């Protein structure tokens, strides 16, 4: 097989107008819209000084207080947290639950180094003793609505 080098002159224009881009090469035209879906890439907004980890810990304390025993699943925590923070993203929330459980196999992939929970079975967690609701300095919780 023989190769023969050649070149083709190409001219083009890129037009940017607001949230759209039009690329014209020779006589071919391609349009790209940069519009995003409303709310799709928005970050959730928590109160100043409150982190997602604070919300997760407060939800766990609330679940333990409501149930009367220290055993729960991550979806239970998520449903409690959604009451006050309906814009929470499920995947982010669940990932941070794992990042707060040192004996979870995937904990090593997270850098948070929180130690709120212990894994007691597949999908089941418990609050570590020092974070239990009776260890709170006052009766109020982060998820209280008052």
CATH number at residue 114: 1.10.10
pLDDT tens digits, residue range 78-127?
A: 999 999 999 899 999 999 999 999 999 999 999 888 999 999 998 999 99
Answer yes or no: do 60 and 95 share one domain: yes
User: Is residue 11 scored above 70 in pLDDT?
Assistant: yes
Mean pLDDT over 4-32 rounds to: 84
Which residues lie below 8 Å from residue 95, measured CB to CB, with a gap of 6+?
Answer: 110
Answer yes or no: do 85 and 25 share one domain: no
Proportion of the chain above pLDDT 90, given as a percent = 49
Q: Is residue 145 part of a domain?
A: no
Per the structure, the complete domain to which residue 27 belongs is given by 11-38
User: Is residue 40 scored above 80 in pLDDT?
Assistant: no
pLDDT of residue 141: 53
Q: Is residue 111 part of a domain?
A: yes
Mean pLDDT over 44-56 rounds to: 87
Answer yes or no: do 122 and 65 share one domain: yes
Answer yes or no: do 116 and 73 share one domain: yes
Q: How far is CA 33 from CA 15, 40, 87, in A?
A: 12, 15, 26
pLDDT of residue 130: 92
Number of domains in the chain: 2
Q: Is residue 140 part of a domain?
A: no
CB 140 within 8 A of CB 48: no
pLDDT of residue 145: 47
Q: Is residue 143 part of a domain?
A: no
Answer yes or no: do 56 and 21 share one domain: no
pTM: 0.64
Q: Which residues pair with 119 in a beta bridge?
A: 125
Mean pLDDT for the chain? 85
Question: What is the C-alpha end-to-end distance of the chain, expressed in Å?
Answer: 80
pLDDT of residue 37: 56
């Amino acid at each position: 097989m023989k190769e023969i080098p050649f070149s083709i002159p190409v001219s083009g224009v890129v037009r940017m107008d607001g949230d759209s881009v039009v690329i014209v090469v020779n006589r071919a035209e391609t349009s790209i819209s940069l519009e995003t879906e409303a709310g799709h890439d928005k970050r959730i907004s928590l109160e100043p000084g409150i982190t997602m980890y604070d919300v997760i810990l407060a939800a766990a304390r609330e679940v333990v207080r409501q149930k009367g025993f220290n055993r729960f699943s991550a979806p239970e925590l998520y449903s409690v947290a959604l009451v006050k923070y309906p814009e929470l993203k499920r995947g982010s929330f669940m990932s941070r639950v794992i990042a707060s459980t040192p004996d979870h196999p995937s904990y090593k992939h997270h850098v948070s180094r929180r130690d709120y929970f212990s894994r007691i079975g597949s999908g089941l967690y418990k609050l570590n003793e020092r974070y239990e609701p009776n260890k709170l300095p006052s009766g109020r919780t982060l998820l209280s609505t008052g």
